[in-house]
Amino acid sequence: MAEKKTTDAAKTAAKKAAPKKTVAKKTIAAISLNAENVGFRAGDVYNALASEGKALSVAEIAKLAKITTEEVYLGIGWLLKEGKVNEEDNKVALA
């Protein structure tokens, strides 16, 4: 019986000594969905593509335009609707 208590105490001590896993919280920026804001994001995407002169990935556009990937998708949607961009090899290019 004494051995079992020691084993249980050792397990408890090991659990307390082990570092706890921390879960990184992902924050999502609030995006105002109105025509003016989405139009500005479309302009940001268009200008990033125009400045590079080649097809870019969403991540590349976000980095160049200094906006989130969600905002890039909003801008791409606007530009696709207007026929201003095309897809080339899984990247976005000006039409």
Domain boundaries, the chain: 34-95
pLDDT in tens, 57-92: 999 999 999 999 999 999 999 999 999 999 999 999
Number of Cβ within 10 Å of residue 16's Cβ equals: 8
The separation between the first and the last C-alpha atoms of the chain, rounded to the nearest angstrom, is 79
* Lowest mean pLDDT segment, chosen from 13-17, 47-51, 59-63: 13-17
- pLDDT at 3 > cutoff 60: no
CATH topology of domain 34-95: Arc Repressor Mutant, subunit A (1.10.10)
Q: What is the pTM of this model?
A: 0.69
Cα 24 vs. chain centroid, distance in angstroms? 14
Q: CA geometry: angle at 87 spanning 81 and 93, to 5°?
A: 85
8 A C-beta contact, residue 54 and residue 93: yes
φ, ψ of residue 80 to 5 degrees: the values are -65, -45
